Chains A and B, each alone.
Chain A
């Protein structure tokens, strides 16, 4: 596949958290920026998300969590990606995440955390700069 093909991005809503305003806005924003977007919809288990990421052959997984379950669910997503040999798919996240948890998420292997109030443009710029088509 050519290196300048469109980025494929999975926007994911792990857990039972129903707050999807942010995830849907991010999905639209990525689509408008010219990326290919797969949105999982709500209430996905880490397993479902990882399977979708592999099946859809995405270049990036972005999760949105507002329920406080981010540490548990992000570790599970990273663990499963590793287990299924897809650890090269970068994972980023956003939502209601206390400052003190950001280093913990980084340690888990979440590449970037976007907090509420981040301009959409900044997220697109970061993605263009840091994410490459995997093949």
Chain B
């Protein structure tokens, strides 16, 4: 990248600088500070020498071009601002529908659904397992009837919707497809994302249902179905977010996410015999934006470059759309503090900026109170305004990949990539991510990092303001509380739906689904029929559990 003369000057200058600063102990002796588990050592200064071997064409290039380091689209935010997609859902379908309309009115540009734990785990609201959890961490959905209320007066052929749902992803997607169809929006018109990434559930988020192997099979079913019938849908959002929140370092997040992606691509190729270019363009990703600003940007740039190489070289994809990594980003929930919660607005702003400079396609910004509960209207609006201010006031969207060429950011991008490849090679040697997950390898690695970070916080080697430094107590903030009565009302509606639906139609649909599962067929057409008959989420998931078995937490610690 540089002439010999420049490099010579850089060398000489560095020697002079080191000579001057070596006497100032604080500059070189101070440890790196950031409020997350660090991945690499950071130097106090970088020069052309650090990136002298970097090849512009091969490693940086232009946005929308291999290896996509600078962005997955040609024009990035000059063409279109990222989708402002606030993860949102609480209480009943009515409550959430109301919040969605509010957020859309306030300028949100895409929807994102938070489901409650029973829904995430494939249980109905009247299950004994749902005790205390109904509507708490998201919206309670039992049948298509709830889904129709949830999407009431939301134009599903215009707005794209993301659904954070994993083991029952096929079920929620089926309900969405039928709800859209009832609005007059056919399969080929609707757009959105189902998270549908079971491997990271075993690793980190821990909403699991069936064992790893059939779980991956269900994901491949949805990828195949989407490829054929729902072409605008992202059938999987391969996520690192949850691993990071569970304590992973940036490198672990990067490596494990891409290794999960490799596992899904391989499974679809092997199981479905689909050409890689037929489905790979619809794969999408989900990353955390944590507190170490430059490390996050480097991670996101490295992710694009690595995925491009994986798709082009490992899977021999020919379509450039298969090479590009598109991703949703969310600011780091685990970087927020319950103490002095207003500080969380500042943290979220900086993390969101990292996501933007890292080239996110859509973004969720956490609300200041999200460390306590689902956000109030007030807090959710500030979080949305944070994105709007960044987009419309700061000028950061004017130049694509503005940090390219920075000695530091390019070096860090290279380092993230190198270290992540080491992990991926290790996982390959274990037989791929599915085998590694069954062995508990990423689970234990992340547990180690989380434990280490906690010890560093306790010893004040790592600082979180308001938590282990400047910890003045502040009065509590108002929180959104979910009424315990919600469960009774939800159960009432569920029982009413069960009473009026065609019981024989449901039984038929569930039986057809069972046979399809037993015969290894793609489940999607059968789940859609069951959803249409108002089969409950749990009735459908019970078929999965019956045929594929249930996964129990191995309780690694």
Pick the residue among A29, A68, A99, A121 that contacts B137 (CB under 8 A). Answer: A68
CB contacts (< 8 Å) of A100 on chain B: these are: 476
Q: Which label, helix, strand, loop or mixed, suits the secondary structure of the B interface?
A: loop
Query: Among the interface residues A37, A45, A73, A98, which one has the most CB atoms of the partner chain B within 10 A?
Result: A98
Q: State whether the Cβ of A80 lies closer than 8 Å to any Cβ in chain B.
A: no
CB contacts (< 8 Å) of A39 on chain B: these are: 555, 557
A21 touches B137 (CB 8 A): no
B554 touches A73 (CB 8 A): no
> Whole-angstrom distance from the CB of A68 to the nearest CB of chain B?
4
Which positions 8-24 of chain A face chain B at CB distance < 8 Å? 11, 15-21, 23-24
B133 touches A69 (CB 8 A): yes
Given A17-B117, A98-B373, the answer on whether A24 and B132 have CB atoms closer than 8 Å is no
A117 touches B131 (CB 8 A): no
Given A28-B557, A72-B132, the answer on whether A15 and B206 have CB atoms closer than 8 Å is no
CA–CA, A117 and B338, complex, Å? 8
Given A73-B131, A76-B131, A120-B458, the answer on whether A42 and B136 have CB atoms closer than 8 Å is no
A28 touches B451 (CB 8 A): yes
Q: State whether the Cβ of B447 lies closer than 8 Å to any Cβ in chain A.
A: yes
CB contacts (< 8 Å) of A42 on chain B: these are: 206, 553, 555
Q: State whether the Cβ of A89 lies closer than 8 Å to any Cβ in chain B.
A: no
B247 touches A71 (CB 8 A): no
Pick the residue among B207, B451, B468, B554 that contacts A41 (CB under 8 A). Answer: B554
A25 touches B133 (CB 8 A): no
B372 touches A98 (CB 8 A): yes
> Whole-angstrom distance from the CB of B332 to the nearest CB of chain A?
13
CA–CA, A45 and B130, complex, Å? 10
CB contacts (< 8 Å) of B337 on chain A: these are: 116-117
Which segment of B120-128, B191-199, B265-273 sits at the interface?
B120-128
CB contacts (< 8 Å) of A96 on chain B: these are: 338, 371-373
CB contacts (< 8 Å) of B201 on chain A: these are: 18
Given A16-B117, A119-B458, the answer on whether A21 and B246 have CB atoms closer than 8 Å is yes
Name which residue of chain A comes closest to B371, CB basis.
A96
A71 touches B557 (CB 8 A): no
Which positions 79-135 of chain A face chain B at CB distance < 8 Å? 96, 98-100, 115-117, 119-121
CA–CA, A42 and B334, complex, Å? 20
**Could you show 18 A-B contacts with beta carbons less than 8 Å apart?**
A16-B207, A20-B553, A21-B450, A28-B447, A41-B552, A41-B553, A42-B555, A45-B131, A68-B137, A68-B482, A69-B133, A69-B136, A72-B132, A76-B132, A96-B371, A116-B371, A116-B467, A120-B455
B residues with CB within 8 A of A: 117-118, 120-121, 123, 128-133, 136-137, 201, 205-207, 245-247, 334, 337-339, 371-373, 447, 450-451, 454-455, 457-458, 467-468, 476, 479, 482, 484, 552-557
A residues with CB within 8 A of B: 11, 15-21, 23-25, 27-29, 31, 37, 39-43, 45-46, 67-73, 76, 96, 98-100, 115-117, 119-121
